[in-house]
Amino acid sequence: MKRPTKHIISLINSIIFLFPLNGIKLEEINSMNTSMYRFFFVLNFLCMNFDAAGEIIWFLDGLWSGKEFVMLAHIVPCLIMTFLGNIKMIFHFLNEKEVVKLIINFKELEDDKNIELANSNEQKSTENIYDREIKHLNTIIKLVKVLNSSTIIAFGLAPFILMGAKYLKTKEFVPILPLYVKYHFFDPYNMIYYGLTYIHQFWSMCICMSSVTGVDMLFCTMCVFIKIH
């Protein structure tokens, strides 16, 4: 008889890479690794919100100084995504143990179900249910991955494309960053700081995207698994 597939493990493995980026774990680990995860969580949380605070200051300063509406509107989606990312990161972090226990319980439930099916004649029909539901879920996960990857690539390349276009038009090199952020301690457009500032903003974007989509995809995975059972 065909060996039952570990569906819940394969599904979790397909999205688990999103969580270590934010210092959030989906499995039980030793205390040393837990400390490392906590360090990454605090570091990335501060990194993302440092830029978020600068965006808010830049936005308020723009309102006060009468900047163009288009420039002000450019930053609003970033602020909304950061707000959502903060909510999801914090609530997942606070309920991390419960999430780990839930995943363990799902794995045990699937193991028990596989043992039960191995001793019955229902394995084929049950596998068909799994395949149908998981096929739809995998399609959604792949679509989200493609959209997020495209967004991150566009976010990273946009400043260089705009700089190139501006140089061809004016023959002047004007550094451009992905985000409008107000830094009080240094000029981010000074070439001494530009490279590190660009990397910092790009990393903040990656953290924000992974914190939002990671939790959403985990939620969808759990919902599909509950529906199957």
pLDDT at 77: 86
Q: Tell me the pLDDT tens digit for each residue of 116-144.
A: 555 555 555 666 777 777 788 888 888 88
pTM of the predicted model over 0.75:
yes
Q: Tell me the pLDDT tens digit for each residue of 168-215.
A: 988 888 898 988 888 888 888 888 999 999 999 999 999 988 888 888
Of 126, 125, 98, 132, the C-alpha closest to 112 is 126
Q: Tell me the pLDDT tens digit for each residue of 7-21.
A: 667 777 778 888 877
Cα–Cα distances in Å, from 180 out to 113, 157, 183? 53, 15, 10
Looking at the predicted structure, is the pLDDT value of residue 64 above 80?
yes
Give the DSSP per-residue string, 26-57.
Answer: SS---HHHHHHHHHHHHHHHHHHHHHHHHHHH
CB 191 within 8 A of CB 171: no
pLDDT at 127: 66
Looking at the predicted structure, is the pLDDT value of residue 89 above 80?
yes
pLDDT at 198: 94
Higher pLDDT, 74 or 193: 193
